Structure 1
């Protein structure tokens, strides 16, 4: 029994380290996204040292989302040229520079610019990291490993809310500038993805990478399967272009599934809840301190995501969790809508003062167990090697456009109508609409290899190594010799 346990530890330890050190970069993204929650109210205050209007504040809030598409495009170009690992490492110094820049900023537009650049890095990271983690992971733990990105993002948001409640912009920004440096040191120690080496025809390096990741020398069988998988995907479409995402049925189905999950994620109201958490609590008139409410809100989300990823996702599968998550989010934001409708009509809400924080916490829990990592999972699993970089670039761009859109919808509707009831009702309707699509179209990928998932999308039976064509086997074997 001890030998078996030791074997399992050796098999997974490098995968865990590589994933955690990679996801550590996402801490900075979580910090950047959650930055407005503690600091935007201070910037909007009458005694602010950096005078800011509501409109300027809203643009500052969505700066990371606007910046993401350029970063995603850069990563899509680099990831197949210099590799998944080097592309990730290339991003770290930029984040350090930008946090130092925020510390010394004197206008809101300077802060906007630096947050825009960090957003570009985030776009790059969300293009390359799901690809890297999906490619290095054993199918038995891939669900957990891909979900660590969500854990890191939430940890970053919680971190900035905690230090933001104690420190000013200058001190907190200097502290945050150290995080990318820690990531860079740790991630420089991990191996490159074996898929990248196979794609480049370097089978020997791919085998060494796989041996390091699996913690054992005997990886010939898995190496053969990986090589066959990459060769099949590369030879199916050759040098794939963007149009292959639409013209090939399996890619088209993967795109539709991603769009469905992405729209449900964004239009459930996550970004407005994150950007304007403290504002929501103040508008609700809660007797609980707004800053404490935000910290509780983020802490619950972190705990929920951690529990879901460690004990639930690889046991129950992602499809069931997405269904539960979408339904729970719909009910939670509907409860918020009801509360603000009652408040609008001057109904006494003294006896339900707890409802805003309760509904938001429940929303966070429900979002965390499925929708929080649903997009990353789809991106890391559903697209074949030959179009993965392009697919992740376009997907990340689409995601941030939708995030920006829903955030501006929230800000404009709140400013024009003066009530949060209608935006939350809209989010509730969107959540339930997404639930219907997920139930109907989302496949279950639990326990399947990336190649088996491709066969599922193609519409064939799951194939084993004996079902591969002799032509592909000959090609791979010749490459080793």
Structure 2
């Protein structure tokens, strides 16, 4: 056990006459920080609803007996319906980043629900493609808020030994949301679909409202009493029991706040530059893996492949695998470390996409072999989402939440999240055009090449943060042992 963890379990009771300090052990409760992280991740479930929403909604909008629209949207309109959420998510962080410093991580996260609730209400009553566009942009803004504020909140409320597990909860929440819409969407009307989606952001507001904000934020605002209350609740300890951690947070925050951060400061020194390259790089490869294509077009992929299972059932199976694999990460990440899991994930995605591309090539060439391996798209996609959700789904966000000093974090998180969604928008908007040019097999092989590059990037540039405190991470980035 590291000294930091040992000391966190003790508080000063008294000093003897010779000056020798006497400490009393105070174990505390990890369950409190897990509760706060789980409730904050109801916002991640809502994010998952928005990312998976298109899979069921597209098939309904193509059927005028189910669609609320007067006509079937064109291929171009469907591409915008899919890609406007990543586009909104690109803008959202630049609003959310400053808000995390002004009103706090908690209230910025709660504000995301305004966009989500408004979007689903619009979709309940929509009868034109234009209103669907508006709703999808609002969803994207909400996603941008969540991706910025949630990583900061969880990274700052978590103790050193729990940060990896809690940071992995975001991906678990996202895939639970995706599975939710995969299970509900195909079997209810378009309007009922939106009502079921509306339940989750309302539940998030009703429960997370009672959680404390990050102690780092309270210290930044000079609210010492609130910082103590927050730490006491999160650690399940007395005032004396959290004093040492409070002192460490205060020292870190005061040091980082000597100079107010700007976008230029992200590249002002080697540590920040390296942290941004690692964070933005992982998030870029996350999108270039093609995951959003799988999420947005999952049902369509199985329909195109002529899968032996009904597309709706195959999609639900994929969603269930995503939840299962995402649930593994919090259990293993603080044992194996971030880097090993990311390498496993990148290698697995490369192989899975290579096999998926092979099937579509055989199918394109009318090979008789394709008829005998109709199971391959299901197996390949299941393998792909499994390794993605274990590694490249959750861990880039966990790394983003722990890489930067408190004053840099709001600005750097906004920039890194925006980089992520720039590529998310590009991939989803032009996937159909890419298919037309190089075929489905070529598109999936291209994603596989990006995953192979992600393996090399992780192997050579990503540093391991397992078991390190936020200050120790900064020391490593600055080249101090």
* TM-score normalized by the length of structure 2: 0.91
Give, in angstroms, the shift of residue 350 of structure 1: 2.0
What aligned pairs does 1:17-166 form with structure 2 within 5 A after superposition?
17-45=35-63, 48-50=67-69, 51-166=72-187
Describe the superposition over 1:327-379 as per-residue Cα deviations: whole angstroms up to 9, x where unpaired.
Answer: 10011001011111111121111221110000000001110111001221121
Residues 21 and 186, structure 1, Cα contact 8 Å, conserved in 2:
yes
Describe the superposition over 1:399-433 as per-residue Cα deviations: whole angstroms up to 9, x where unpaired.
Answer: 1110111123321122445x310100101111001
1:336 paired with 2:356, answer yes
Select 2:346's aligned residue among 304, 317, 326.
326
Give, in angstroms, the shift of residue 45 of structure 1: 4.0
Select 1:448's aligned residue among 453, 464, 468.
468
Describe the SS at the equivalent of 2:257.
Answer: helix
Residues 44 and 53, structure 1, Cα contact 8 Å, conserved in 2:
no
1:302 paired with 2:320, answer no
Q: Which residue of 2 aligns with 1:15?
A: 33
- In structure 1, distance between residues paired with 2:90 and 2:343: 29
1:230 paired with 2:250, answer no
Give, in angstroms, the shift of residue 9 of structure 1: 8.9
Q: Which residue of 1 aligns with 2:242?
A: 219
- In structure 2, distance between residues paired with 1:185 and 1:46: 36
**Root-mean-square deviation (Å):** 1.6
Describe the superposition over 1:295-346 as per-residue Cα deviations: whole angstroms up to 9, x where unpaired.
Answer: 000101110110222x211110111000000010011001011111111121
Select 1:190's aligned residue among 195, 207, 211.
211
Query: Where in structure 2 are there 5+ consecutive unaligned residues?
Result: 1-8, 10-24
Give, in angstroms, the shift of residue 16 of structure 1: 1.1
Residues 44 and 57, structure 1, Cα contact 8 Å, conserved in 2:
no
Q: Which residue of 2 aligns with 1:168?
A: 189
Q: Which residue of 2 aligns with 1:407?
A: 428
- In structure 2, distance between residues paired with 1:259 and 1:118: 22
1:352 paired with 2:373, answer yes
- In structure 1, distance between residues paired with 2:299 and 2:410: 37
- In structure 2, distance between residues paired with 1:41 and 1:182: 28
- In structure 1, distance between residues paired with 2:245 and 2:44: 30
Give, in angstroms, the shift of residue 234 of structure 1: 2.1
Give, in angstroms, the shift of residue 387 of structure 1: 1.1
Describe the SS at the equivalent of 1:240.
Answer: coil
Residues 93 and 181, structure 1, Cα contact 8 Å, conserved in 2:
no
- In structure 2, distance between residues paired with 1:226 and 1:406: 40
- In structure 1, distance between residues paired with 2:362 and 2:280: 34
Residues 150 and 373, structure 1, Cα contact 8 Å, conserved in 2:
yes
1:260 paired with 2:260, answer no
Q: Which residue of 1 aligns with 2:448?
A: 428
Q: Which residue of 1 aligns with 2:22?
A: none
Describe the superposition over 1:432-480 as per-residue Cα deviations: whole angstroms up to 9, x where unpaired.
Answer: 011101000111111111111111111101xxxxxxxxxxxxxxxxxxx
Give, in angstroms, the shift of residue 92 of structure 1: 1.9
- In structure 2, distance between residues paired with 1:189 and 1:286: 46
Residues 162 and 295, structure 1, Cα contact 8 Å, conserved in 2:
yes
* TM-score normalized by the length of structure 1: 0.91
- In structure 2, distance between residues paired with 1:69 and 1:265: 15
What aligned pairs does 1:234-313 form with structure 2 within 5 A after superposition?
234-235=257-258, 238-309=259-330, 311-313=331-333
Residues 384 and 454, structure 1, Cα contact 8 Å, conserved in 2:
yes
Range 246-255 or range 67-76, more displaced: 67-76
- In structure 2, distance between residues paired with 1:426 and 1:70: 27
Residues 336 and 421, structure 1, Cα contact 8 Å, conserved in 2:
yes
